[in-house]
Amino acid sequence: MRSKLSAITAYSNTATTVGTTLNVAQSVLSQLDDSRNVVEQATGQQGAFSLNGNGQTSTQAAAASQLGEILSLLNTQVGNNYIFSGSAQTTPSVANSAEILNGNGAQAGLVQVINERAQADLGTGSGRLVVGGSGSNISLADDSATSPFGFKVSSIISNLTGATVTSSSPPSLAVNLGANPNAGDTIAFGLTLPDGSSQTITLQATTDSPPGANQFSIGANANATAGNLQTALSGAIASLAQTALPAASAIAAANDFFNSNPPLRVSGTPASSTSLVAGTSANTVFWYTGESGPTPARQTALAQVGSSTTIAYGMRANEQAIASLVANVAADGPAAKAGIKTGDLIVTVDGVEVEDPNAFDYRFATKPLGGTAKVGLVRQGKEIAASVALQSLPDTPRNEVQIKGQSPFLGATVATLSPALADELRLDPQTEGVVITAVADGSAAQSVGFQKGDIVVSVNSQKIVKSADLERVTNASSRQWRVTIQRGGQQISVTFSG
C-alpha cells in the first residue's frame, strides 16, 4: 500500500512539474508572438528618417530590441532546466544576443554573415546580372546558372513595335529590335531576388533626350536605340541593386543563419563567390546552443504521470516555426532594410532639389501618407534612387496604465513608448522606455512635480522598460523611493520618503 501511495505521489509531483513547464512555455510562446506582431506592424514603416548611431531607422532599432527580448525568452528556465534546449536541459538554449549579432573573436555573427551575403549578392555592382548584346540585340543573363547569389532573370514581356523576343528561357533573356519602337512602347524584365520576392524593371521608349526615369531614347536607327536600351537597363539594375536587393539579401542571409544547422554562409571571396558553405564552430557563432540530435523535439523530455501514461513535452529553440520568427525579426533589425543609409547624401525628393534638412523635412511633411516618394541619393560618389514608403510612425502596443500603488507616481498614467507615441508627445522618435501621459489633479504624482512627457528611467535602482515594470515596482511598499527621470533631454534623480 505504501509503495502505491508513494508512486501516486511521485506521479502527481511529476504531473505538477510538467504542467508548470507547459504553462511557462505557453506564456513564452505567447510573448514571442507578441514580439512578432510588434515587428510586423513596424516593418516597412518609414515615417521618420533619422538614423541612430548604428545607421538604423527607429523601426529597425525597434526590431533589434525585440530580437534581444526574443532571445532572452528562449533561455527561459523552469527550476534549473532550460525548457527550449531539448534534452540538454542544463545548457542555455541560445547564445547571448551580442555574440549572435556581432560574433565572438574568430566566430562570425549575423551582422558579418549578412554583410558577406550582401557583397556576394551585389557582385561587381549589377546584382550578378550581365547586360549585353550587339547591333540591334539586347540580352540579360545571370552571371552563373548555379550560383545562389544576386538577381535571377525570370521573364521578359515586350510590346516594342518591331521587336522580337529571341530567348525567354532563364537564365538568359534576349530581344532583337527589328525596327525603332514607337514612343510609349515598353519592355519589362522580371527578376527574382535572393529571398524569393520579385521585382520588375519596366522601361519605356521616348523621343526625349536625355530620357526620363525608367525610359530610353529612340535613336536614329534600331542599333542606336538598342544601345540606349542597354544603358537604361544597366542603370535600372544598378539602382535596384542598391535599394531592393540589400533587403532581400539580408532576409536570405538571416534564414541561412537561423534555419540551417550548421548555419550557411558565403564561401570564399564574397564578390566572386558562387556557393554557400556550412559554417563551423571555429568560424561561425551557432545561435542555438541546446541539443539538436535526431530525436524529435517533443521526445527529448518524457515524464511518466501514471503506471502506463507518459507525456512527451520537450522543445527546442531551433524548431522551424521559432527559428523562422527569429530570422524574420533579425532581418528587420541588424539587417537594416535597404534604402537610406548612414553617409548617404540626399539631393532630391521626387525630382525636387533639397539643400538642407529643413527643405528635406518640408518635402515629406507636405506629402500625403500612403504613397511613395523617390529619393535621389549620392552614395560613395554614385547617384542612385530609393523608393520610400510614406507611412505613419509604427505604433507598438502602449499598454497604458494608471498607477494606483502607494508611491510618488500615484495618480500618474504611464505608457510604453513607441515611435508614434514619442512623435505625439514631441519626443525623439527613437526614445524608448516608459513615459507619463497624464497626471491627475490633486494626485501624489502632481504634488511631487511629475509632468506629462517625463520619461521614467529607473525606480529604486530597477530599470523601467515597460509600463508593467513601473506598475509592479510601485505596487511594492517602500520607505524610500529613488527615482530617475528624463525631462527635456536632461536626466534628473530625486529621492522621496515613503
SS (H, E, C) 119-150: HHHHCCCCCCEEEECCCCEEEEEECCCCCCCC
Q: What is the pLDDT of residues 341-386, one digit of tens each?
A: 555 677 787 777 776 666 666 666 566 655 566 777 776 666 766 6
Is a pLDDT exceeding 70 seen at residue 189?
yes
Task: Supply the pLDDT for residue 145.
Answer: 85
Task: Supply the pLDDT for residue 148.
Answer: 96
Is a pLDDT exceeding 90 seen at residue 58?
no
Is a pLDDT exceeding 80 seen at residue 43?
no
Is a pLDDT exceeding 70 seen at residue 48?
no
What average pLDDT score do residues 85-113 get?
91
Task: Supply the pLDDT for residue 429.
Answer: 64
pLDDT band at 280 (very low <50, low <70, confident <90, very high): very high
Across 131-145, 160-174, 239-253, 346-360, the highest mean pLDDT is recorded for 131-145
Which has more pLDDT, 42 or 354? Answer: 354
Is a pLDDT exceeding 60 seen at residue 331?
yes
* Mean pLDDT, rounded, of the chain: 83
Range name among 302-306, 331-335, 375-379, 484-488 with the lowest pLDDT average: 331-335
pLDDT band at 483 (very low <50, low <70, confident <90, very high): very high
- Percent of the chain topping pLDDT 90: 47
CA 487/CA 80 separation, integer angstroms: 41
- Percent of the chain topping pLDDT 70: 80
Those residues whose C-beta lies under 8 Å from the C-beta of residue 277, and which sit 6 or more positions away, are: 264, 265, 266, 267
Task: Supply the pLDDT for residue 61.
Answer: 60
What average pLDDT score do residues 424-432 get?
74
Asked whether the beta carbons of 136 and 174 are under 8 A apart, the reply is: no
CA 191/CA 169 separation, integer angstroms: 13
Which has more pLDDT, 242 or 384? Answer: 242
Range name among 199-208, 306-315, 391-400, 453-462 with the lowest pLDDT average: 391-400
Asked whether the beta carbons of 429 and 422 are under 8 A apart, the reply is: yes
Asked whether the beta carbons of 300 and 291 are under 8 A apart, the reply is: yes
Phi, psi dihedral angles at 400 (to 5 degrees)? -75, 130
Task: Supply the pLDDT for residue 49.
Answer: 44
Which grid cell is 154?
525570370
Across 354-363, 377-386, 420-429, 485-494, the highest mean pLDDT is recorded for 485-494
pLDDT band at 187 (very low <50, low <70, confident <90, very high): very high
Those residues whose C-beta lies under 8 Å from the C-beta of residue 179, and which sit 6 or more positions away, are: 161, 162, 163, 222
What average pLDDT score do residues 72-93 get?
92
Range name among 301-305, 397-401, 426-430 with the lowest pLDDT average: 426-430
CA 13/CA 239 separation, integer angstroms: 64
Asked whether the beta carbons of 141 and 173 are under 8 A apart, the reply is: yes
CA 22/CA 18 separation, integer angstroms: 6
pLDDT band at 70 (very low <50, low <70, confident <90, very high): confident
CB atoms under 10 Å from CB of 378, counted, come to 13
Is a pLDDT exceeding 50 seen at residue 46?
no
Task: Supply the pLDDT for residue 216.
Answer: 97
Is a pLDDT exceeding 50 seen at residue 337?
no
pLDDT band at 340 (very low <50, low <70, confident <90, very high): low
What domains can be seen in the chain, in order of their start residue? 2-120+259-332 (1.20.1330), 130-244 (2.60.40), 345-389 (no CATH), 401-497 (2.30.42.10)
Q: What is the pLDDT of residues 132-157, one digit of tens each?
A: 999 999 999 999 989 999 999 999 99
Phi, psi dihedral angles at 455 (to 5 degrees)? -105, 120
